[in-house]
């Protein structure tokens, strides 16, 4: 009898998205080869640990999901993107993944293997390979740190000494334990060059020597310009870097004597200034910020490092606004104090004056006010003796002294303070650098803050959701790799735009232009790109690819990725197209 059953047809849709872009850049940088060199595969692994780690890196770069959601995220991807040996697995491509093949336990074990590897050497190898592959310039490097918080308990201490502890929280959560994440980027494309995690109570003024020594090895020379915040300004750190041929640009702390001496002189006799730079204010199309150099030669008292005193028109506005708000808060406190005088511990002139001085001193505005505690005598008649008053009742006059508090602003001191508004000191150990060169170098530092923004707001590094501090230390290395991939993509697109004379790309909604495309906006153009497979009785018969639009093809061309390479994952089986 003839079988008349109708064929079973299925249409299976798989995501391609931005993964081919990440894989192309990863292949150019040779990250897989470096990982394989340090993490040896085992013969009984269904999925090699290195492949699991790279999937984690791609997931972080795309917008991180928790480990327990990765299985569902991977199941939506085209199977050819996973770089797996399908013959060794129990299922064929396009079939449903066996339950648990990409569960959080697999990724956890891969992180354990990464933790056991020599990640310090890996970071150096990755940085050197990035330099070789991209030609990034290491003549100027920027360092800073941020805090990575955790919730709940995170006990234990790694072999490298990393542990979660309370410290200065840059997330403004002093109630949570944290680790400190130090990152160094290049001034060429803001590409991450080095990273390291420290215990949560570590301060930046103890980490720069170790960081600079590592960067000297990566750069292959000591004379690169090292730009950092004012925590590098300790004699031990600066003298170590200078002694070994290094150069540093940073801000001098306001706590140094040189700062107060100069400002006192400037308050009394303002020095002339010379314009050195004028630039557009970010996100303000028609407004400019102008920088001036204060005349004269300025040196630190110890070691004689060069100080460039810079005046900024925008900082002047911020300083005056900040002081105006501060004075309002001080006067609100003094007004509140007025309602408490003549009671409890504020009954004498000395007590009132001492408390008012404490308020002014705690805010640092003692010189900006004239305080006066006055006396007012008030009298009243008081009955002598007890009982109901009558025609024979006698009275006496009772006189009481009431204290008052008044204040006025010290106009002379406030006018003198305006002479130091907008000033900040740049410390430079290279006497050959001009004030403009030092200023331009330091003004690149916000690009490092943007990497921290990516780390926290896009990649969601915090709070850490692991139960083992060892896995936290391992995954922080993967965040470093994800930042590298994103930075290289940004740099490549922007460089090619400049070479080809492309001013902007229409990456924003309503085809609005992006003059400096970020990786997130580039990825948005590919997020819905898919491939669909038609199967008949579980046999693959046809493949349908989404159409790539003009902007998608333009981005691929800028990244030097052909359309054939973008769709390469679909070529593991030949079907009718």
Give 55-71 pLDDT, tens digit per residue.
Answer: 999 999 988 677 677 88
Mean pLDDT of all residues in 176-189: 92
Residue 555's CB is within 10 A of a number of other CB atoms, namely 25
The span from the CA of 100 to the CA of 71, in Å, is: 7
Q: CA 142 to CA 441: how far, in whole Å?
A: 9
Residues across the chain: 577
In this structure, what token pair is assigned to residue 396?
């006496």
Copy the structure tokens of residue 228: 């950092």
The CA distance from 376 to 401, in Å, is: 6
Residue 103 token pair = 């569960």
CA 91, distance to chain mean position in Å, is 43
- HEC assignment per residue over 523-556: HHCCCCCEEEEEEECCEEEEEEECCCCHHHHHHH
For 460-538, strand residue ranges (E) read: 505-508, 512-514, 530-536
* 297 Cβ contact list (under 8 Å, min separation 6): none
Average pLDDT value for residue range 80-104:
63
**C-beta separation of 545 from 531 below 8 A:** yes
Report the run of H or E that residue 398 belongs to, with start and end. Answer: strand 395-409
Greater confidence, 410 or 86?
410
Q: How far apart, in Å, do the first and last CA atoms of the chain sit?
A: 36
pLDDT of residue 378: 77
Write down the pLDDT at residue 420.
94
> pLDDT value at position 575?
44
Non-local CB neighbours of 174 within 8 Å, separated by 6+ positions: 166, 168
Runs of H (alpha helix) within 269-403: 313-338, 349-363
pLDDT of residue 40: 83
Is the pLDDT assigned to residue 96 strictly greater than 60? no
Q: From CA 22, how far away is CA 488, in angstroms rounded? A: 10
Residue 294, strand partner residues: 273
Q: For the residues 232-252, what does the mean pLDDT come to?
A: 95
Q: Does residue 26 have a pLDDT over 50?
A: yes
Adjacent-strand bridge partners of 298: 307
Q: Which of 392, 394, 373 is nearest to 382 (CA)?
A: 394
**Confidence bin at 98 (pLDDT 50/70/90):** very low
């Amino acid at each position: 009898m003839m079988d008349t059953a109708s064929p079973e047809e299925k249409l299976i849709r798989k995501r391609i998205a931005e993964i081919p872009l990440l894989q192309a850049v990863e292949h150019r940088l040779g990250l897989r080869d470096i990982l394989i060199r340090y993490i040896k595969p085992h013969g009984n692994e269904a999925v090699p640990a290195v492949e699991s780690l790279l999937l984690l890196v791609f997931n972080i770069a795309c917008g991180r999901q928790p480990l327990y959601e990765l299985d569902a995220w991977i199941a939506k991807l085209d199977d050819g993107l996973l770089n797996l040996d399908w013959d060794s697995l129990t299922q064929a491509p396009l079939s449903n993944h066996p339950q648990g093949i990409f569960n959080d336990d697999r990724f956890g074990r891969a992180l354990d293997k990464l933790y056991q590897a020599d990640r310090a050497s890996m970071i150096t190898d990755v940085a050197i390979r990035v330099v070789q592959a991209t030609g990034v310039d290491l003549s100027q490097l920027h360092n800073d740190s941020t805090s990575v918080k955790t919730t709940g308990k995170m006990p234990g201490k790694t072999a490298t000494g990393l542990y979660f502890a309370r410290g200065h929280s840059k997330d403004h959560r002093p109630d949570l334990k944290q680790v400190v994440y130090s990152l160094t980027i290049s001034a060429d494309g803001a590409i991450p060059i080095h990273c390291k995690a420290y215990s949560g109570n570590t301060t930046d003024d103890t980490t720069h020597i170790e960081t600079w020594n590592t960067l000297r090895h990566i750069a292959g020379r000591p004379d690169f310009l090292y730009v950092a915040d004012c925590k590098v300004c300790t004699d031990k750190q600066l003298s170590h870097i200078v002694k070994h041929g290094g150069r540093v640009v940073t801000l001098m702390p306001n706590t140094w004597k040189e700062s107060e001496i100069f400002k006192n002189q400037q308050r009394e006799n303002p020095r002339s200034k010379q314009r050195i730079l004028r630039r557009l204010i970010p996100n303000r199309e028609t407004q400019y910020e102008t920088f001036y150099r204060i005349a004269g030669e300025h040196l630190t008292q110890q070691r004689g490092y060069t100080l460039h005193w810079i005046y900024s028109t925008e900082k002047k506005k911020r300083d005056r606004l900040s002081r105006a708000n501060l004075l309002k808060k001080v006067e609100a406190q003094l007004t509140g104090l007025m309602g408490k005088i003549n009671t409890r511990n504020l009954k004498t002139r000395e007590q009132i004056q001492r408390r008012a001085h404490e308020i002014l001193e705690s805010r640092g505005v003692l010189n900006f006010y004239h305080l006066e505690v006055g006396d007012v005598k008030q009298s009243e008649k008081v009955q002598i003796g007890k009982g109901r008053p009558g025609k024979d009742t006698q009275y006496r006059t009772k006189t009481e002294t009431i204290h008052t508090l008044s204040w006025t602003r010290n106009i002379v001191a406030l006018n003198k303070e305006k002479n130091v508004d907008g000033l900040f000191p740049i410390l430079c150990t290279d006497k050959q650098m001009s004030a403009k060169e030092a200023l331009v170098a330091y003004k690149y530092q916000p690009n490092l803050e943007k990497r921290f923004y990516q780390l926290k707001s896009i990649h969601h590094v915090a709070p850490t959701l692991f139960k083992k501090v060892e896995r936290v230390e391992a995954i922080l290395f993967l965040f470093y790799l994800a930042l590298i991939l994103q930075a290289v993509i940004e740099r490549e697109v922007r460089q090619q735009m400049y070479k080809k004379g492309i001013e902007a790309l229409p990456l924003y909604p309503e085809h609005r232009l992006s003059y400096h495309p970020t990786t997130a906006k580039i990825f948005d153009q590919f997020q819905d790109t898919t491939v669909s497979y038609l199967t008949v009785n579980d046999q693959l018969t046809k493949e349908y690819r989404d159409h790539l639009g003009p902007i998608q093809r333009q981005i691929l061309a800028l990244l030097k990725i052909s359309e054939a390479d973008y769709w390469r994952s679909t070529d593991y089986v030949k079907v009718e197209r």
